[in-house]
Amino acid sequence: QKAEWKQLKDAKSVTADGKQFILGANIGTPKDVEGANDNGAEAVGLFRSEFLYMDSSELPSEEDQFKAYKQAVEGLSGRQVVVRTMDIGGDKELPYLPLPEEMNPFLGYRAIRISLDKQDIFRTQLRALLRASHYGQLAIMFPMIATVKEFKAAKAIYEEERAKLIAAGTPVADHIEVGMMMEIPAAAMIADKLAKYSDFFSIGTNDLIQYSMAADRGNEHVSYLYQPYNPSILRLIKNIIDASHAEGKWTGMCGEMAGDQVAVPILTGLGLDEFSMSATSILKTRSLMKKLDTTKMSELAQKAVTECETTEEVVALVKEYTK
């Protein structure tokens, strides 16, 4: 089996009936690029930029960030790298950036909420990203967007920094896709509105499930509620994908669910465009995809979304459709 996977390293990700998908890697530092390439990643669907902030005793400079992003896009040689702007807060703390004590850190001051508040930090990161865009195929996404207003505010700051760099003669890519993480149920419900402004969506199921089920993703006492295949979650995912397609945009997924072998047949049927996962899951997923028929998977997805009541029913349905 492993030998079969290895042969797929340079292959496209296609189903039995010839529909093509993109299988990407999630990376945490530019060093992970090697693993992504070794495992046949067609893109980086999520570059978590937090390492720059967490592995440091002070705020990372524009230059340090620029180097890291440049290294990543160059390492992917023209394939797309989606960099997520700072997702600090929640369970991720910084010694040099005192955050308020909070009763519910996961519901508190984190990610884009900090970036929109502490704009100097955000602008520094955006400048580094814009400068790195000249060296490869870079895209940017904002984490934890809940409202249209937040997305517009973040995008406006991005446009300001872009215009300033261009005015100063700094080389910047002509077109950079600017998208958002879909990880808050409120955003998923108004995906049709957000799709008018966001170039793409990337579904963060780790948080989307936690917030939909109101169950802390790290709390073992409520881990039974962490249900990626629950019809409630599948409906949100379908809504997001359909909304993006209606606007001619694309949707990826960068939460754990994207590499989940039970979820992949359903996600294929829902028309997810890009699956981004830990590099070591890519070849296994490419191999699974080769066996799937999209017409059949659409039927499976449709049934899971409209007829199933429970996770267990969905799992049974996937078994039936993939045996």
- Binding-site entries for phosphoenolpyruvate: 48, 84, 206-207, 217
Strand partners, 203: 182, 253
Task: Quote the CA–CA distance of 239 and 78 in Å, as a whole number.
Answer: 31
- Of the pair 30, 255, the CB lying nearest Mg ion is at 255
Strand partners, 13: 21
Q: Which residue has the tokens 């992504």?
A: 36
Task: Quote the CA–CA distance of 201 and 240 in Å, as a whole number.
Answer: 8
What part of residues 151-190 is at the interface with Mg ion (CB under 5 A)?
183
- Of the pair 139, 300, the CB lying nearest ligand PEP is at 139
The site partner of 48 among Mg ion, ligand PEP, none (C-beta below 5 to 8 Å per kind) is ligand PEP
* Contact present, 266 and 318 (Cβ < 8 Å): yes
* Contact present, 33 and 71 (Cβ < 8 Å): yes
Q: Does 183 interact with ligand PEP (rule: CB under 6 A)?
A: yes
Q: Does 207 interact with Mg ion (rule: CB under 5 A)?
A: yes
DSSP 70: H
Provide the mask over 188-207, with x wherever binding to ligand PEP is found by CB under 6 A and - wherever it is not: ----------------xxxx
> Which listed residue (254, 289, 297, 305) binds ligand PEP by CB under 6 A?
254
3-class secondary-structure state, position 179? strand
Residue ranges of the binding site: 48, 84, 183, 206-207, 217
The site partner of 277 among Mg ion, ligand PEP, none (C-beta below 5 to 8 Å per kind) is none
Active-site residue, from 82, 236, 241, 254: 254
The site partner of 254 among ligand PEP, Mg ion, none (C-beta below 5 to 8 Å per kind) is ligand PEP
Q: Does 48 interact with ligand PEP (rule: CB under 6 A)?
A: yes
In order, the DSSP letters of 307-318 are: T--SHHHHHHHH
- Of the pair 85, 133, the CB lying nearest ligand PEP is at 85
- Of the pair 183, 199, the CB lying nearest Mg ion is at 183
State the nearest-atom distance from the C-beta of 204 to Mg ion, in Å. Answer: 4
* Contact present, 123 and 85 (Cβ < 8 Å): no
In order, the DSSP letters of 184-253 are: SHHHHHTHHHHTTT-SEEEE-HHHHHHHHHT--TT-GGGGGG--TTSHHHHHHHHHHHHHHHHTT-EEEE
Q: Does 204 interact with Mg ion (rule: CB under 5 A)?
A: yes
What's the one-letter identity of residue 31?
A: K
What part of residues 62-101 is at the interface with ligand PEP (CB under 6 A)?
87
Q: Give the contacts of 323 (CB within 8 A, at least 6 positions apart).
A: none
CA 272 from centre of chain: 12
What's the one-letter identity of residue 10?
A: D
Residue 281: CB atoms within 10 Å: 21
Stretch of 12-20, 70-78, 206-214, 276-284 lying at the interface with Mg ion (CB under 5 A): 206-214
* Contact present, 283 and 8 (Cβ < 8 Å): yes
- Of the pair 133, 205, the CB lying nearest Mg ion is at 205
State the nearest-atom distance from the C-beta of 254 to ligand PEP, in Å. Answer: 5
Residue ranges of the binding site for Mg(2+): 183, 207
Q: Is 308 a catalytic residue?
A: no
> Which listed residue (255, 259, 269, 271) binds ligand PEP by CB under 6 A?
255
In the complex, the residues that contact ligand PEP under the rule CB under 6 A are: 46, 48, 87, 183, 204-207, 254-255
In the complex, the residues that contact Mg ion under the rule CB under 5 A are: 183, 204, 207
- Residues designated catalytic: 254
